[in-house]
Amino acid sequence: MNCERVKEWLPHYIEGLLSPERELIIRLHIESCPGCVQSLEEAREMAEFWREMERNIDVQDVGHIPDLTAAVMAEIELIEAGRSKRVNESAPSRRRYTPRTSWVHYSLAASLTFLLFQFGVFEGLAYQISEINGQMSNSVNVWFGSQSTQLFNK
């Protein structure tokens, strides 16, 4: 097993969510790799940090949270009224070009997206997302209990 694969499974290894076979493979690799020993220590510190954060979270009573809906909606209505007034006061020729302008924006966005794909900007995104997913699995296990544990032991 290579170091990158071991680092992906470290959060599950620390929490004891792996099958015995996989746990043995990872433990043997860690014992023979100084870089992975350091990664394991960092992962343990991070797991302890998450546990401490979860212990320190205060559950607030929903009754004490102010309802801001009416104030926000009133502000949105004021903004919308001002926008409508400006549109009605503007020259009629300006409205004629608004649909064309929106198509220009969509075309520009599509072209930029295409260029970003061509230059490989999104190339490593899937790996980064899967790495974050592995690091956050502890929270998922806490939230959903033994159902998530069964998935990792397969």
**According to the model, what pLDDT value does residue 51 have?**
82
Q: Looking at residue 154, what is its pLDDT?
A: 53
- Give the residue from 12, 37, 34, 36 showing the smallest Cα distance to 131: 12
pLDDT in tens, the chain (154 residues): 788 888 888 888 988 888 999 999 999 999 999 999 998 998 888 888 888 877 776 555 555 666 778 888 888 888 888 887 776 666 555 555 555 567 777 888 888 888 777 777 777 666 667 767 776 776 666 666 655 455 555 5
pTM: 0.39
C-alpha span between 113 and 12 (Å, rounded)? 36
Kindly list the distances between the CA atom of residue 25 and the CA atoms of 3, 7, 29, 43, 147, in Å, as whole numbers in the listed order: 12, 13, 6, 18, 24
